Amino acid sequence: MNCQTVQNQILGLPDPRELPAALREHVGGCAACQAWARKAARLESLLAQLPVPSAPRQKKEAMIGDLMQAEPVILPMATLATRPSFATVTGRFLRRNATYVGGLAAAVLVAIGIYWLWPSKGPEVVVAPPPQKHPLLEKMVARDTALARANTPTKKLETLDGMADDLASETRGMARIASAAELKQMTGWYEKVVKDGMVKQAGKLPLSMPAADKAKLLEPIAARLNSDATEAEKLSREVPPDAQPALKRMADTAREGEKSLRAMARGSN
């Protein structure tokens, strides 16, 4: 007899506190089954201690009354009314409204047939217009709007920096697909913003501006220009030869801008 059998039999006992001899032999030599028997015995004791609520007096009298009445004590069990199934309901509905349902089905079939057989011109081919939303143009309009509202050299400088960043990023993106002339034109825009915009605006920063504040403003912009220069130089080594001059020019513009801004940040210009 293994432990699982013994433990199942303990659970099946009417009172696990009194083990029969057959089980006691195994339990005496098995620690696990001993623990199991103890737990079962404890559970039995605890169940016996559970309070049982007393029945209301009227209930007892009513039950005695029921037993004493003339009718049979055992009454036929009440059965729940069965709910008709969906199929039954549907079937009943169809039988009752057979004429209408048949007519409706025939009408639907006729309509489908007419639709099917009606001469059609074939699917209309709608040609979507080519996209006209140009992200770079939208950015330039937004930058001009921001510049119109910028009322300090600092805000103007930051907006121009954003504009230069947009142009540099777009130029790099177009480096492999645009013609040399187009890249040259884009580099010209970048140059305009850096030289005529950023460097000039940095020069207009108020003299009263603390050197630390000036450096805090100009150094990150100079660092971004440095990044433009590095990326343009790197890209110029990867693009076709006719695209290289524009990128080199952009790198030179960025380096010059960086140099000017760093000089201003140090207060030497």
By CB under 8 A, name the binding residues for another protein.
129-138, 140-145, 147-150, 156, 159-160, 163, 167, 173-174, 177-178, 182, 185, 188-189, 192-193, 196-197, 200-201
Min CB(205)–another protein separation in Å: 13
Min CB(257)–another protein separation in Å: 13
- Would you say 142 or 215 has its CB closer to another protein? 142
Burial readout 225-250 (b: 16 or more C-beta within 10 A, e: otherwise): bbebbebbbebbeeeeeebbebbbbb
Min CB(141)–another protein separation in Å: 5
CB atoms within 10 A of CB 57: 8
- Would you say 27 or 205 has its CB closer to another protein? 205
Min CB(196)–another protein separation in Å: 5
- Would you say 4 or 151 has its CB closer to another protein? 151
- Would you say 102 or 203 has its CB closer to another protein? 203
